[in-house]
Amino acid sequence: MSITQLFKNLWPYVKPYRFLVFAALFLTLIGSFTAQVNALTLQYTVDEVNRLVENGQGLNSGLNILVTITLILLGKEIVNVIITFGQKFYGEKLRIYVSRDLAQAVVDKILTYRMAFYTANDNESGKLQTRIDRGIESLTRLVQNFFINILPLFANSFIALILMFNANFWVGFVGLMIVPVYIFITVKQARTLSGWRRNMRNFRESKSQGIVNIIQSITVIKSFNREKIESEKQNQIQIDLTENQLKTQKTGFLFNGAKTFIEQIGVVIIIILTAYLVLDGQMSIGMIMFHILLFNNVTAPIGQLHRIFDEMNDAMIYSESFFEILHADQETENSGIYKPEKLIGKFELKNVDFIYPN
């Protein structure tokens, strides 16, 4: 399932609460501008203090600068507290509502299915429970990440890039080039790990179903002294799950290390380039800190995107099986599976009470 298909399936559950979405997006837009205040304030502070020092002026002359900076930064923090509270409140409220609707939708669906649906090997009770629980958890976390984490980060990054390009084209170009490289590595990471994530889902479902089977069949297990056999079966599943987890983590660490290395290269280039422009007389000394802070805003998604992207990949993996449950009945009806004539074969219905052969 692609990210487009995922949001297409998820949108009907988000649409009733679009007011919460618009409120979160509006606060995100405001927050993206306030996030740049520190960089602008620091540039102004460094340049003004440097000018006072060069002119031989002391604390008395710079006192008004300190008061101005203090008021600006305190005001920005107060606004940020309000914005952050609103984003988290609306985002969490949206997550809770969507979680409730998804849970009720899947309950309503599974109550309408034929018994043949539950007798399929992939639809055993333990597997279904794990699939539903993990599916709802992953999907609601995706909603929360998208409206509370991803959008604010990328809005901040976008505004910071505009300011960097406005200050100097080449500095902005360096900041811009880091983003696609990082995204390329992240997409490559997702594709590499996708198979192992699906294996992880299967192992978890099998483990959950095995525990359910043990509890339901404990009398038979005790009667035939099968404790050791059942323990070995569960142990093998746990070993396979552990090996899969270790491979996933190892590969993830390698990709994350590559992304961190790319980010640090960008920081070094920004510092060297800005220092060159300052020495060449094209910029003031305050632009060094200005560009560093702006680049930090650009790379802020880089610091968190790999974690969020991992959770999005989990959501995509578990959403496949979750939405399969929601759509399973339609698929079986369209394919003709479980139709009465398929099951009866050469027998036909003669009256309400009896079935006679042809």
Judge whether 185 and 258 are in contact, CB under 8 Å. yes
326-354 pLDDT tens trace:
776 544 444 433 333 333 333 333 343 43
Domain membership of residue 358 (yes or no) is no
Q: What is the pLDDT of residue 170?
A: 86
Answer yes or no: pTM beyond 0.75: no
Helix orientation angle between 169-216 and 286-335, rounded to the nearest 10 degrees = 40
Please report, for the domain that includes residue 129, its CATH number.
1.20.1560.10
Domain membership of residue 284 (yes or no) is yes
pLDDT for residue 117 is more than 50: yes
254-305 pLDDT tens trace:
887 887 788 788 888 888 888 888 888 787 788 887 888 888 878 776 666 6
How many independent structural domains does the chain possess? Answer: 1
**For the chain, what is the mean pLDDT?**
77
* Residue with more model confidence, 78 or 151: 78
Q: pLDDT band for position 358 (50/70/90)?
A: very low
Rounded distance, CA 289 to CA 281, Å? 16
Domain membership of residue 356 (yes or no) is no
Q: What is the pLDDT of residue 304?
A: 67
- Is the CA virtual torsion 149, 155, 156, 157 positive or negative? positive
Find the domain containing 300 and state its range. Answer: 3-328
Domain membership of residue 350 (yes or no) is no
Domain membership of residue 348 (yes or no) is no
Of 68-77, 146-155, 273-282, 299-308, least confident by mean pLDDT is 299-308
Domain membership of residue 349 (yes or no) is no
Rounded distance, CA 147 to CA 25, Å? 7
Q: What is the pLDDT of residue 302?
A: 64
Domain membership of residue 347 (yes or no) is no
Using CA atoms, how far residue 86 sits from 20, 72, 246, 306, in Å, is 10, 21, 39, 25
Domain membership of residue 346 (yes or no) is no
Of 19-28, 67-76, 113-122, least confident by mean pLDDT is 113-122
181-238 pLDDT tens trace:
877 887 787 777 767 777 777 777 777 778 878 887 888 888 878 888 888 888 888 8
